[in-house]
Chain A
Amino acid sequence: MAAAEKPTKEKLLSTLDDIEVLSRELIEMLALARTQKLPQPGEDTQILELLVQRDKEFQELMQTAMEQGRVHQEMQTLEKEVEKRDSDIQQLQKQLKEAEHILATAVYQAKEKLKSIEKARKGSISSEEIIKYAHRISASNAVCAPLNWVPGDPRRPYPTDLEMRSGMLGNMSNMSTNGVNGHLPGDALAAGRLPDVLTPQYPWQSTDVSMGILPPHHGNDFGLEPPGHNKENEDDVEAMSTDSSSSSSDSD
Chain B
Amino acid sequence: MATAVPVVEEAEDYSFLPIIHDVIKCMDKESPDVHQELNKLKTKIQEAREQISAMPGIDLSPALQESRLQTLREQVQTKNQLLQKYKSLCMFDIPKPS
Q: What's the Cα separation between A8 and B61 when bound, in Å?
A: 5
- Does B97 count as interface, using CB distance less than 8 angstroms? no
Which residues of A are found within 8 Å of B66, using beta-carbon distances? 71
**A20 close to chain B: CB less than 8 A:** yes
Interface contact tally, CB-CB below 8 A: 113
Contact of A13 with B49 at beta-carbon distance under 8 Å, contacts A74-B69, A81-B76 already known: yes
> Interface code B69-87, partner A: CB below 8 Å = 1, 0 otherwise?
1001101100110110010
Q: Return chain A residues, CB-CB under 8 Å to B86.
A: 92
Closest CB in chain A relative to B20 CB, distance in Å: 5
A89 touches B58 (CB 8 A): no
A6 to B27, CA, bound (A): 38
Question: Which residues on the B side are within 8 Å of A19 (C-beta)?
Answer: 16, 45
Contact with A along B45-67 (1 / 0, CB 8 A): 10011001101111111111110
Q: Report B-chain residues with C-beta under 8 Å of the C-beta of A74.
A: 69
Which residues of A are at the interface with B, using a C-beta cutoff of 8 A? 5-9, 12-13, 16, 19-20, 23, 26-27, 30-31, 34, 51-52, 55, 58-59, 62-69, 71-75, 78-79, 81-82, 85-86, 88-89, 92
Other A-B pairs, 8, CB within 8 Å; known A16-B48, A62-B14: A7-B58, A8-B60, A16-B49, A27-B23, A69-B56, A69-B58, A71-B69, A89-B83
